């Protein structure tokens, strides 16, 4: 049996998707289970039938990807895991993964009008047809049941997690930077999308504070740059869209007092675990998926209350909390480690509905 992770939209710059796949493949490696990933670069070199090639030539990528996923499912020894919604989700050896349902949130949805309606219809159709769905949080599971009427027994929660290697890297970072001066008061790791609200963070940061934004631009960078220009005499902002390794990422985390996550909509929140694993003080929006990470968050703030955000940031700016080994230890003892997640994932890949 081979487990195949199929996401031809994902490339190395899509950190969330590629990291999730790398983490789950690592779980399978620990179990001695064969797996492979088909991401954007891999898809370019796959054999394709005539119809698939015609779809690609016509710019109809979704249909070509659908045919490729179907071909992979035709091999009975394959288990195909994909977060691409337009796939043959009804096949017995197909597992659909859903990270979030932002199509149903007006602030996080991409665009509106007919395109948004079509995306929502696709979610309803293909999730209802799916034999098995894996989601990253109880919050996403609840959303699937409310918006798409998917039966609870078809949905399994397997959260995102943090590997042992990354935990060790976080600990080493905390040890290395614990006593030295910090370059940043706040660090925010997430893609640059409007609902992530990097611009709000800049607006509400205390005068004199230093902010590090780590992520790839997905449309919100102009708003962020405008917010920086508006407060250029009050705050210092370093934008890092070139962080490609875990070592670079944790070095930046280690140089900060506080990790923040002011997004209004998420499916999970891996950066929260990364902040806490390195001992940072953590402030996050009070939204359902983050409540599932409450053991690793020092303060919740109402997502739309900018005054409360300013007050929370001001307090941390003044106190400049030192790294907490208690916070780091909580991550190591949590249900978000590779050891905790491995058995859950093993069960779904060893059985068919």
Indicate the fold that domain 164-332 takes in CATH.
Rossmann fold (3.40.50)
- The strand pairing partners of 45, in sequence order, are none
Q: End-to-end CA distance of the chain, in Å?
A: 16
Read off the pLDDT of residues 134-151 as tens digits, 9 standing for 90 and up. 999 999 999 999 999 999
Does residue 135 contact residue 97 with C-beta atoms inside 8 Å? Answer: yes
Check: CB of residue 123 under 8 Å from CB of residue 99. no
At 37 the pLDDT is 93
Residue 108: what pLDDT? 66
Q: pLDDT value at position 296?
A: 97
Dihedral pair phi/psi, residue 272, rounded to 5°: -60, -45
Q: Mean pLDDT over residues 295-310, rounded?
A: 97
Tokens read off for 249: 């990422």
pLDDT for the residue numbered 351 = 63
Whole-model pTM? 0.92
**What digits encode the pLDDT tens for the residues 37-55?**
999 989 999 988 899 999 9
Tokens coding 134: 């894996």
Q: Is the pLDDT of residue 336 over 60?
A: yes
> 162 has which bridge partners?
337
pLDDT tens-digit profile of 169-200? 999 999 999 888 999 999 999 999 999 999 99
What pLDDT band is residue 111 in, cutting at 50, 70 and 90? low
Burial (CB < 10 A; 0-12, 13-18, 19+), residue 30, is: middle
DSSP letters along 30-41, please?
HTT--EEEE-HH
Q: Quick check: helix, strand or coil at residue 87?
A: coil
CATH 3.40.50.2000 placement within the chain? 2-161+337-350, 164-332
**Residues contacting 339, CB < 8 A, separation 6+:** 164
Q: Decide if pLDDT at 86 tops 80.
A: yes
Q: What is the mean pLDDT of residues 303-325?
A: 95
Tokens 């053991």: give the residue.
Answer: 295
Where do the H-state alpha helices sit in 130-163?
Answer: 138-148
DSSP string, 169-221: HHHHHHHHHSSSPPSEEEEEES-B-GGG-HHHHHHHSPTT-EEEEES-BSS-H
Residue 337 pairs with which residues in a beta bridge? 162
Architecture of domain 2-161+337-350: 3-Layer(aba) Sandwich (3.40)
Give tens-digit pLDDT for 204-237.
Answer: 999 999 999 999 998 999 999 999 999 999 999 9
| pLDDT for residue 31 is more than 90 | no
341 phi and psi angles, rounded to 5 deg: -85, -25
């Amino acid at each position: 049996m081979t487990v195949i992770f199929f996401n031809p939209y994902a490339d190395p710059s899509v950190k969330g998707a590629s990291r999730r796949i790398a983490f789950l493949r690592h779980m399978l490696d620990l179990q001695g289970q064969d797996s492979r990933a088909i991401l954007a670069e891999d898809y370019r070199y796959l054999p394709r039938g005539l119809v698939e090639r015609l779809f690609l030539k016509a710019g109809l990528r979704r249909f070509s990807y659908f045919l490729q996923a179907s071909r992979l499912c035709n091999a009975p020894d394959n288990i195909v895991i994909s977060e691409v919604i337009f796939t043959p989700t009804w096949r017995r050896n197909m597992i659909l993964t859903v990270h979030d349902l932002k199509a149903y949130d007006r602030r996080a949805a991409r665009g509106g009008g007919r395109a948004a309606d079509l995306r929502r219809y696709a979610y309803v159709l293909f999730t209802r047809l799916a034999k098995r769905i894996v989601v990253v949080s109880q919050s996403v599971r609840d959303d699937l049941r409310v918006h798409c009427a998917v039966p609870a027994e078809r949905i399994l929660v397997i959260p995102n997690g943090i590997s042992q290697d990354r935990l060790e890297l976080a600990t080493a970072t905390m040890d290395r930077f614990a006593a030295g001066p910090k370059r940043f008061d706040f660090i925010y790791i997430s893609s640059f999308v409007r609902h992530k609200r990097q611009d709000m963070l800049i607006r509400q940061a205390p005068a004199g504070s230093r902010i590090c934004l780590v992520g790839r631009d997905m449309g919100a960078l102009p708003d962020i740059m405008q917010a920086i220009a508006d407060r250029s005499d009050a705050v210092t902002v370093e934008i890092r869209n070139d962080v490609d390794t875990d070592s670079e990422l944790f070095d930046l985390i280690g140089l900060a007092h506080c990790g923040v996550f002011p997004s209004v909509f998420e499916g999970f929140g891996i950066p929260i675990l990364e902040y806490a694993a390195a001992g940072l003080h953590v402030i996050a929006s009070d939204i359902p998926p983050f409540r599932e990470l409450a053991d690793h968050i020092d303060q919740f703030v109402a997502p739309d209350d900018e005054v409360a955000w300013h007050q929370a940031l001001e307090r941390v700016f003044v106190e400049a909390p030192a790294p907490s080994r208690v916070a780091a230890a909580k991550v190591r003892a949590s249900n978000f480690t590779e050891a905790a997640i491995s058995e859950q994932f093993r069960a779904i890949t060893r059985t068919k509905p």
